[in-house]
Amino acid sequence: MTSLQFPAFLLLVGLCLAGCEDACYKDGLCEKQDTSSSVYKRYLLYDVNPGEGFNLRRDVYMRVAVAVARLRGWTLVLPPWGPLYHWQATNGEYETGIPWARFFDVASLNRYVPVMEFDDFVKESGARVDAVLHLQNYAEGWRDGHFDEKWHVRPCLSQARFSRSGDVFSAQMWSHVTLQAANYSCVSIQGTSSTLAEMCAAQPHRSILVDRAETVLHHHYGGRQFWSARRSMRFARHLVEEAAALRRDLLASEDEEDGTRYTDDWRDMKVKAGSARGGPYLAVHLRRRDFVSGRPRSVPSLETAARAISATLRELGLETVYLATDAPDREVGRLRELLEPFRLVRPPRRRDLLAGEEAIIDQIVCSHARHFIGSYESTFSFRIQEEREILGFSAESTFNRLCGDREGASCEQPTRWRIVYA
């Protein structure tokens, strides 16, 4: 290399270090990057519609994580949990500002993409981002019924969450912190995780908050990257241990005998469908509350649910049903009466656990049952079905739901989204 060529070479290297870090597509994905040095770090924060529940938010996380997997040098910042409609403490107050480590194994998440808790981001960079991108649909909708993946900066279609004071935009986020931003834009987007990755790669900013991230669709629902992201979402160790103790003490269920043991690393776990046996109990997720009025055709009465549960218990030769439900105590008591002589297990609420922790314990216990019956179009049931796929249960023991009174006993059952491995 001549002396004249060398400065040009250094310039090219510098330009690449500054702008080439996002162009790392390899079969649609980047190799795992070392983001330990802040020189290479860029941060993607996200939030969703405040009305969305825990299990839909878990699904949105997967969409965003798959986008980050297509980028180099980015760290996904995990938004604190709460307040959520279903999460009230035993004193009636809503739970807010909860870190992911209370519910998930953050080290396991990091084996798919680099992640960090929001509080750690604040310690490192302060409670501010370079830009907020508020996602929205296109005002004109689809054209000619054709879905094109695209995004454009457009005028805002709704009132902004962030207020402006001089050159700074700010908003209270997750009910416990005021987040500031130097820039704010509304982006009309029609696309998937790939579109989100493309949009992020095009930004000059070091830190971005993507608001209303549920607007983005899955790149390939049920595909390899979907399942890699989902498999990485291992639950927090203390919740796994609580669920194991409950299964052992109340349901005579243990992993060794049930064939439901996890590997230490999700990447090493690839089981054969039908290999899991499960504990000697039926698990049922019976959704009530807003579902009773919102989906009257598909939600069974307690009497109809009891008949279906009793019939399944007799068919399987089991005597015990574990009930996961948001029903009030009086309805649980009535269902227990209707199910006699079968045994219904529904532990009372605990003051030492968050409502979200109790919900996860419910899901773990349901995912280890010999047979599972869920509720129509419930994301809580969907997440249990996914976990049972990861554990290796048969489709016949997993993809089932209770039928509403108006549907009859032969209603359409859930779609079978079978696990695939990368």
Dihedral class, residue 27 (left if φ above 0, else alpha if ψ from -120 to 50, else beta): left
Catalytic residues: 52
Radius of gyration of the chain (CA): 24
**333 φ/ψ angles, rounded to the nearest 5 degrees:** -65, -40
Q: Where are the alpha helices (DSSP H) in 38-192?
A: 54-68, 106-109, 118-125
DSSP-based three-state secondary structure for 100: helix
Which of 254, 294, 305 is closest to 378 using CA atoms? Answer: 294
In the numeric block, the tokens 């010999």 are attached to 370
Question: Can you tell me the distance from the alpha carbon of 401 to that of 416, in angstroms, rounded to the nearest whole number?
Answer: 12
In the numeric block, the tokens 């501010």 are attached to 128
Contacts with 276 (C-beta within 8 Å, 6 or more apart), sequence order: 258, 259, 260, 388, 391, 392, 393
Cβ–Cβ < 8 Å for 351, 357: no
Distances (CA, A) of 271 to 95, 255, 275, 421: 36, 14, 7, 10
Question: Can you tell me the distance from the alpha carbon of 81 to that of 90, in angstroms, rounded to the nearest whole number?
Answer: 17
Cβ–Cβ < 8 Å for 210, 67: no
According to DSSP, the residues that pair with 186 across neighbouring strands are 134, 154
Residue 254 class from Cβ within 10 Å (0-12 exposed, 13-18 middle, 19+ buried)?
Answer: middle
Structure tokens at 303: 């009497």
CA angle 113, 174, 187 (to 5 degrees): 65
